[in-house]
Amino acid sequence: MTQPNTSYQGSKIKIYLGSSVLFICMMTSSLVFGPLILLSYPLPFSVRYQIASLWVKFVMLIAKVFCGIHHEVEGLEHIKAIKAAIVLSKHQSAWETIALRLILPTQTALLKRSLLWLPVWGWALATLKPIAIDRKKKRESLKTLLKQGKACLNEGIWVVIFPEGTRTAPGEVKKFNAGGALLAEKSGYPVIPVAHNAGHCWPRYSFLKYPGTITVKIGPVIETKGRKAADINHQAAEWIAQAMTEL
């Protein structure tokens, strides 16, 4: 399914060529980096993570050179002194699932368990301490998030969650799921809200990618100790909604 960027007025041929190069490079490079990650499984987690980070940097470089996709980050000063946190991020495309691994400290993410079944790359992803859940089993999924999320945070690994649960089109707003806020309530770790406009350059469910500069806004720390999940969720959702109006 290709979702067009109706505001783009440039060469369609260039868009198709750049998007094709990006797709081919992502697929072929995963067949190189995936086995490397699997082979490094006996080594410390940090080694596997660094190999995966090289793939992320490669993909971002290809997107920049062939698709003209750049990005800028605001608010990095908010996370300088944070050892571990729960990130509640806007979700518009696949771009942020890749780019946040470059922008933020060592992290894991809440994701669909079925992604781990993908040949090679999914298997490699399974070695990177993902918090994999079956969305159909909500109670079991929440238990998994709370247990594995706390364990990762205690190790100094950030937990990235997309509380809308699915990718949204630019301008679309969905209600935040409570899982990330519940993890914050139970663990006491701070929440970092993140807003961005990646959907304009890398539309959801789209093969085509469009040139432009994606802005990522990292919000101030939301303290969670002694607070209820609903209150935490509301504050994060409000900050992200306001930040989105400024993008």
What does the DSSP assignment read for 24-69?
A: HHHHHHHHHHHHHHHHTTTS-HHHHHHHHHHHHHHHHHHHHHHH-E
Residue 157 has pLDDT above 50, yes or no: yes
Q: Which amino acid is at 128?
A: L
What does the DSSP assignment read for 154-210?
A: HTT-EEEE-TTSS---TT---PPPSHHHHHHHHH---EEEEEE-GGGTS-TT-S---
Domain positions in the chain: 69-245
Fold topology of 69-245: Glycerol-3-phosphate (1)-acyltransferase (3.40.1130)
2 — pLDDT class (breaks 50, 70, 90): very low
Mean pLDDT of the chain: 94
Q: What pLDDT score does 28 carry?
A: 96
Strand-pair category, 191-196 with 212-218: antiparallel
Q: Is the entire prediction scored with pTM above 0.85? A: yes
Residue 119 has pLDDT above 70, yes or no: yes
Strand-pair category, 191-196 with 158-161: unpaired
- The span from the CA of 64 to the CA of 59, in Å, is 9
- The span from the CA of 247 to the CA of 245, in Å, is 6
